[in-house]
Chains A and B, each alone.
Chain A
Amino acid sequence: MATFPKLKTNAIAQYPVARREQFQNQTVRFVDGSEQRYRDSAGARLEWEIQLSQLDEGELAAIEEFFLARQGAFGSFCFTDPWDGHVYDDCSVAADELPLVTEGEMRGSTKLTVVRNI
């Protein structure tokens, strides 16, 4: 399986990087006030917001080619959580759009959100 590209510094992300963890639970409340709760999803939804700047041309092109090769949100890949180094096997880009800005030589930037598929 493909792996999310690393920068030439070997980093996955730059600061700031936001990590969002979301559960999806349901609660049934009975007339006596008691509750029954249950999970309504196959697992926790994990998201990472990756913002990259000061990229050189090769790094920016690698992100772009990776996005196109995955066909946006369709394809899945391995992603290493930049917070703890855990490798998640089945992740995707969240959106079908990738903005790429080149401000100058070796000054590219982009941002994308990675989600763990459940």
Chain B
Amino acid sequence: MPAYPQLGSGALSQFPVQKNRRVRTVVNQAADGSTIKLADPAGEVTEWQLTYTDLSDEEAAALRAFFVAAEGTLNGFTFLDPAGNLLAWSDQLDQAAWQKDPLLSLTGGISDPRGGAQAWRLSNGGAAEQGAGQTLAAPGEYQYCLSAYVRAATATSVGLTAGSQTARRAVTSEWTRIAWTCSGDAQATSVRFGIEIAPSDAVEVYGLQVEAQTAASGYKASARGGVYEDAHLGDDVLTITSTDVNRHSCTVKIIHANHL
């Protein structure tokens, strides 16, 4: 499935980003004011309004080409939420969304750097590196930033992985945020992001986050994750205004509905 294009900066959008969440609840209101409610999980709709200014010729051409390829609102595409954490269940590493190597043990409820108890201790009882990760249905050639807060009782290092690549980052006894700007494997339609622990090591981890941009923003705990497959453009019209040489502006609406 095609994916919404990144800008030349590696970002998916510019500020401001407007996001609208809509769900549907059937409400039966009685005469005394009390209500009986029924949720409709399939009725969830998310809308983004992305406002672009000072786009280069190449960036404007890429947006236009994407609009033409999508034929306006007709064809679906994968949209990576520019204001969200692409990982699902980022605070709950024991959820099924996470794939864990067999000799890695997870302990939850560890105190985190924000004063809560959402961190996890990852202990490797094996003789080889063991890790936990998540596979995202996101294009491999995009730029991503994988980040996490880490600490360990004794100084060590962890591996951050994206597809077949790994980067090592130092871990100290204080909470430190580590980040890695990376891409997946070119032409791949999914990327596995993860963290690897050296043999016999134990590292505490909090705030795993993947964003489709070149640097990490503030940590956003997520449940659903920020990969929206089968999103659609919200309009059949794309107006690009040239404000100067090599400067263009436009607004794009994107909609994702569970039931489409």
Contacts and interface: CB of A to CB of B under 8 A. Distances in A.
Interface of A: 8, 24, 40-43, 45, 56-58, 60-62, 64-65, 67-69, 71-75, 92, 96-107, 117-118
B207 to A, nearest CB: 9
Contact of B23 (A41, A72, A101): A72
Given A42-B34, A45-B33, A61 B220 contact: yes
A68 B224 contact: yes
Contacts of B128: none
B39 A58 contact: no
B23 A57 contact: no
A101 B31 CA distance: 37
B221 A62 contact: yes
A60 B85 CA distance: 12
B154 interface: no
B18 A65 contact: no
B223 A100 contact: no
Contacts of A65: 221-223
B219 A71 contact: no
Contacts of B18: 99-102
Given A41-B32, A101-B18, A102-B83, A58 B221 contact: yes
A97 B219 contact: no
The 3 closest A-B pairs by CB, nearest first: A57-B218, A61-B220, A72-B23
B39 A74 contact: yes
A100 B41 contact: no
B247 interface: no
A45 B32 CA distance: 11
Interface in B175-214: none
Interface string B158-169: 000000000000
A86 B35 CA distance: 23
A98 B10 CA distance: 28
28 contacts: A40-B32, A40-B33, A41-B33, A42-B32, A57-B83, A57-B217, A57-B218, A64-B21, A67-B21, A68-B21, A68-B223, A71-B23, A71-B25, A71-B41, A72-B23, A73-B23, A75-B39, A92-B37, A96-B22, A100-B18, A100-B83, A101-B17, A102-B16, A102-B83, A103-B16, A104-B16, A117-B34, A117-B35
A62 to B, nearest CB: 7
B248 interface: no
Contact of A74 (B16, B21, B22, B25): B25
A74 B35 CA distance: 10
A71 B43 CA distance: 10
Contacts of B37: 73-74, 92
Contacts of A99: 18-20
A57 B220 contact: yes
Interface string B1-34: 0000000000000011111111111010001111
